[in-house]
Amino acid sequence: MEFHSPYSHGFVRCAACTPECDVADPEFNADSILELARVGHDHHVALMVFPELCVSGYAIDDLLGQDVLLDAVEKSVASIVAASKELNPVLLVGAPLRHEGRLFNCAVVIHAGRILGVVPKTHLPNYREFYEKRWFASGRTVRDAAISVSGQVAPFGIDLQFAARDIPDFIFHVEICEDLWAPAPPSDFGALAGALILANLSASNITVGKADVRKLLCSAQSARTWSAYLYSAAGPGESTTDLAWDGQACIYELGDLLSEGERFPMGSQMCIADIDLERLRLERMRTGTFNDAATLNLANRTFRRIKFDFVVPTGPIDLIRPVARYPFVPADQSRLDQDCYETFNIQVQGLMKRLKTTGIGRLCVGVSGGLDSTHALLVAARAFDQLGWPRSDILGFTMPGFATGDGTKSNAWSLMRNLGITAEEIDIRPLALQLLKDLKHPYSEGRPVYDVTFENVQAGLRTDFLFRAANQRGALVLGTGDLSEIALGWSTYGVGDQMSHYNVNGSVSKTLIQHLVRWVIKSEIFDAETGATLSRILDTVISPELVPADEQGRIQSTEDKIGPYDLHDFFLYYITRFGLKPSKTAYLAHAAWHSLDAGSWPSHFPEANKRQFELPAIKHWLEVFLYRFFTISQFKRSASPNGPKVTSGGSLSPRGDWRAPSDGNARVWLKDLKENVPD
């Protein structure tokens, strides 16, 4: 197995196919199916879903009662089975099949020269333009049965699942068209019984607006069942006597659209996506309600699991799947605006509730001129406006230390004045120098030693002052540290920037905060002068400003020390939100970041962030992340102050999404990274 293959990292490649069809011509239709199947084979596809009744055609009405046609269908199914001996994908094709004097609308599961099983349609539509009960029997009572098709005897029934022997999570369930539209569709039970991929062979005719409903159903079903959902509808060549067809094909995973085909295609087509089966399995494992539902609903249902041997493709294979570089920041502008609106208002509502509940009408906040404190102050100002309280009761303090730059201090003052809060400047350098003298630190003797003690003396004094000012003036200390810093332990513990009375930024990632500030500017919540100040703050290098600039004038850079937040937020999302292995996280990071194709950079993302990361850099910074996250910073998170959970990406609150021992270690994660990611 290769590192650069999706099959090595829990993915399975699937396709939703729309072959060209000819009415009541099974031989032509079989050729169309096999033409796409060969393309799928060449593209390393494992599972290919074709439309309902694609071997015969769907809209053929009473021709379904003609033996000569049904004989031709079986002969064409046999030709597909024979040809599949040379093909790797599992093929799901729709065909009308006879069994014990009845005709069933079936999905035939074919692989490597064998019919693995046949699944009959459960729900037969018989309203408006549909009258399937005129021809077909429902398969709702068919269980533990077998059917003879094209000289092969295969399992037959709605109690079938299919599973690859060599890929533990490659388990799929099949349903047909109307089955999805009915309450409690068969795929509900297939998923609860363990299928991670749900396939729908459909011949749904198109009417205005119907395509959106189909996508809504597929999205919802994949989200509700923690699964992937593959949908393929009939397309070009079907009879248009009274209906029309658009050939809609789409692939969803956990509610998200991974791939879709062109609607109203002129010929055969398919859409392809790599399904993350490992992610689906982990989501189900962590979601107790899924297992509760399985216990409740499967008491009187059993499934036969049909095993098959799948030859896993080898060699380097490009991932066919969108991997967002910024999982906390949507690339779509309208979705980003919505996320920013909700995030900002969640923060505002949380702070308002805390202020009203405590009966404390003032806030103390340290304002550095950096992004985090800026955004926290914006939240505070908006909360006071909503409460009808004067902004003058927000007490802002800028506290210059040994490395505070003129630009950030100027921006802090400008922001506080523009917002109309009560502003003060407290020079912490005399007290910090005295403390360093008491500690006999080399800096107090004039030597340029800028160690962790030198930095934490300043960070600790700032927070200590805020708490004492809050005591004196009847206020709460507003925390400003963000999710990314909390993940990396990039804070001073105790009476330092790790602590506050309430932290509105605690579950907001560093990569999202800059977009929140941009959204605040665009939304014109505050005046134009405030907006101009915010724009200057956005252009400032991320720095704690605790160490003086070097001889070349370069200021202290957080990212130079601990690595790029672009990558750290990526690692944080996939390791904590989904529980993925470091090796898989590195694989995804490489897929997302190793190249920037033309047009792939969203226009609303800052050009300054436009950079690439190759695998050696990804591996290095992931090692840094794993060590910091699992070994040296959990004790800080275990004592986190209150603050609202904001995004579905999660929170690291010990009372919320992440609970872990403070004395843990990173050994198994680092071992996986070292052994499974090439240098």
Q: Which two tokens stand for residue 384?
A: 């006071």
Q: Is 456 annotated as a binding residue?
A: yes
Half-sphere exposure (Cβ direction) of 678: Cα atoms closer than 13 Å = 6
Q: Is 113 annotated as a binding residue?
A: no
Q: Which two tokens stand for residue 503?
A: 């932290």
Phi/psi at 168 (5° precision)? -55, -35
Q: Is 372 annotated as a binding residue?
A: yes
Is 175 one of the catalytic residues? Answer: no
How far, in whole angstroms, is CA 318 from its chain's centroid? 20
Residue 33 near residue 54 (C-beta atoms within 8 A): yes
**Strands, sheet with 502-503, edge to edge from the N-terminal-most edge strand:** 422-425, 394-398, 363-366, 476-479, 502-503
Q: Is 370 annotated as a binding residue?
A: yes
Burial class (CB in 10 A: 0-12, 13-18, 19+), 357: exposed
Q: Which two tokens stand for residue 430?
A: 């005399």
Which positions ≥6 away from 207 have C-beta within 8 Å? 244
Residues 492 and 501: their CA atoms lie apart, in Å, by: 15
Q: Is 204 annotated as a binding residue?
A: yes
Q: Is 491 annotated as a binding residue?
A: yes
Amino acid code (one letter) for 414: S
Burial class (CB in 10 A: 0-12, 13-18, 19+), 559: middle
Q: Of 20, 21, 52, 106, which one is the catalytic site residue? A: 52
Q: Of 14, 121, 132, 584, which one is the catalytic site residue? A: 121
Q: Sign of the C-alpha dihedral, residues 38, 43, 46, 51?
A: negative
Phi/psi at 4 (5° precision)? -90, 35
Q: Which two tokens stand for residue 31?
A: 């050729």
Element (H, E) at 239: none
- 3-state class of 258 per DSSP? strand
Q: Of 17, 54, 177, 250, which one is the catalytic site residue? A: 177
E strand spans, 76-125: 90-99, 102-111, 114-120
Residues 157 and 142: their CA atoms lie apart, in Å, by: 5
Is 440 one of the catalytic residues? Answer: no
Quickly count: other Cβ atoms within 10 Å of residue 257's Cβ: 15
Residue 556 near residue 549 (C-beta atoms within 8 A): yes
Burial class (CB in 10 A: 0-12, 13-18, 19+), 250: buried
Q: Is 341 annotated as a binding residue?
A: no
Burial class (CB in 10 A: 0-12, 13-18, 19+), 306: middle
Q: Is 127 annotated as a binding residue?
A: yes
Q: Is 131 annotated as a binding residue?
A: no
Q: Is 551 annotated as a binding residue?
A: no
Q: Is 493 annotated as a binding residue?
A: yes
Element (H, E) at 513: helix 510-523
Residues 92 and 95: their CA atoms lie apart, in Å, by: 10
Phi/psi at 340 (5° precision)? -65, -40
Q: Which residues sit opposite 398 in a β-bridge?
A: 425
Q: Is 200 annotated as a binding residue?
A: no
Q: Is 79 annotated as a binding residue?
A: no
Q: Is 371 annotated as a binding residue?
A: yes
Q: Which residues sit opposite 422 in a β-bridge?
A: 395
Q: Is 490 annotated as a binding residue?
A: yes
How far, in whole angstroms, is CA 650 from its chain's centroid? 11
Is 177 one of the catalytic residues? Answer: yes
Amino acid code (one letter) for 554: R
Reference 327, options 637, 577, 615, 542; nearest CA is: 577
Residues 55 and 483: their CA atoms lie apart, in Å, by: 54
Residue 155 near residue 299 (C-beta atoms within 8 A): no
Q: Is 492 annotated as a binding residue?
A: yes
Q: Is 181 annotated as a binding residue?
A: no
E strand spans, 158-236: 160-164, 171-176, 197-201, 228-232
Which positions ≥6 away from 557 have C-beta within 8 Å? 541, 542, 543
Half-sphere exposure (Cβ direction) of 471: Cα atoms closer than 13 Å = 6
Quickly count: other Cβ atoms within 10 Å of residue 79's Cβ: 17
- Which residues are annotated binding-site positions for ATP? 366-373, 480
Binding residues for deamido-NAD(+): 456, 485, 490-493, 636
Please list the active-site residues: 52, 121, 177
Residues of the binding site for L-glutamine:
127, 204, 210
Binding residues: 127, 204, 210, 366-373, 456, 480, 485, 490-493, 636
